[in-house]
Amino acid sequence: MRDLVLVGGGHSHVAVLKAFGMQALPGLRMTLVCTDAHTPYSGMLPGYVAGHYAYDEVHLDLVRLCVYAGARFVRAQVTGIDREARQVLLQGRPPLDYDLLAINTGSTPQLAQVPGAADHAIAVKPIAAFNARWLQLLAKVRAGLGPRRIAVVGAGAGGVELLLAMQYRLGNECKALGLPAPQFTLFSAAPEILPTHSAGVRARFMHTLQARGVQVHAGARVQAVSATGVQLLRTVAPALEQVDADAVFWVTQAAGGSWLESTGLALDADGCVRVNASLQSQSDARIFASGDVAAFGPRSLEKAGVFAVRMGMPLARNLRHALCGLPFKPYRPKNTGWH
């Protein structure tokens, strides 16, 4: 009997469970460790926020998936890895032995670096925590209790899309109640919104934001967050500036979980696991990582759900090959998918 432990119920591990469920490997015991029993598809989050999808339409039931794959499901928080003993350490539970370990836990916004952000900002990740805060805010709007001013920090694709989805949903809610819609503000530390996209895409979205009355602050880095708003430092003519906000959503570059720091694995500057082209840790041949928590060695990849999805089947294949003593096949990210 060999043990494959999957830490995290992200997009890649969903594909791994499905693949091993379709073609079981004799003598393998799989275990999924996750803090939640349902995992969302991040690409559908804006549609869920906008009200186009219900909760069940954007979430997968991990328990049912584990039953299909013949895997154990352990709902627990991972606190570390004992690589010498080959054990995954859990909060409030005995450790789990592993022969191979895969990590697909997503990423966590770096709130601690900005004073007040951890206490006052609403982080988009982890999505389960975001959903709880979003539902609370939605209930307040329906009760006519606000918020009236909403700020989104981070003007990448995720931040822009989330802002437009929230504006659409809350605008409809307020219209039904005969109330004025909230005012939205978008902050970008980069000189422009959507810095990784083409000039044409940036221009079209900038036009859309302006047409919808969104205040855009580009070249403005948030220095602090309070209960009443954010403090900015502009790139041009640096000076601290206060912008009022009743709710602040945080959609900036995220990092790996803090528990990874004690594992001794090779990590990048954001605390993500450095992996090679086979999605194998650069410092431990028994450990793999994928999705946002992986720092792909051959070239830099955006922290986007599409890459986690595309890594799923290559990861499943290489885990199977590792267990069977077969050579790995590299994951080659391309715009059209993996090859």
How far is Cα 315 from Cα 260, in angstroms, rounded to an integer? 20
Query: How would you list the strands of the sheet with 220-226, edge to edge?
Result: 220-226, 229-234, 240-244
How far is Cα 13 from Cα 65, in angstroms, rounded to an integer? 10
Number of domains in the chain: 2
Tell me how far CA of residue 337 lies from CA of 65, 105, 194, 308, 312, in angstroms. 24, 21, 22, 11, 11
At 185, list the tokens. 């503000």
Q: Are residues 50 and 139 in the same domain?
A: no
pLDDT of residue 339: 30
Q: Are residues 145 and 63 in the same domain?
A: no
- Tell me the mean pLDDT per 10 residues along the chain, length 339: 96 97 96 94 93 95 97 97 98 97 90 92 90 95 92 94 97 95 95 92 96 95 95 82 95 87 94 95 97 88 81 96 94 58
Q: Are residues 184 and 69 in the same domain?
A: no
Q: Tell which of 233, 250, 267 closes a domain.
A: 250
Q: Are residues 224 and 268 in the same domain?
A: no
| DSSP of 203-234 | HHHHHHHHHTT-EEEESEEEEEEETTEEEEEE
pLDDT of residue 338: 34
Expressed as residue numbers, the domain containing 202 is 109-250
Write the CB contacts of 155 (distance below 8 Å, at least 6 apart in sequence). Answer: 186, 187, 188, 190, 192, 193, 194, 195, 216, 218
pLDDT of residue 335: 56
Q: Can you point out the beta strands (E) in 197-320?
A: 215-218, 220-226, 229-234, 240-244, 247-250, 254-255, 273-275, 287-289, 294-296
Q: Tell which of 183, 215, 250 closes a domain.
A: 250
pLDDT of residue 336: 37
Q: Are residues 124 and 199 in the same domain?
A: yes
Q: Tell which of 234, 250, 266 closes a domain.
A: 250
Q: Are residues 118 and 241 in the same domain?
A: yes
Looking at residue 183, which CATH number applies to its domain?
3.50.50.60
Q: Are residues 134 and 232 in the same domain?
A: yes
Using the 8-state DSSP alphabet, how is residue 278 labeled? T
The residue type found at 97 is D
How far is Cα 131 from Cα 123, in angstroms, rounded to an integer? 10
Tell me how far CA of residue 334 lies from CA of 19, 156, 170, 263, in angstroms. 22, 20, 37, 31
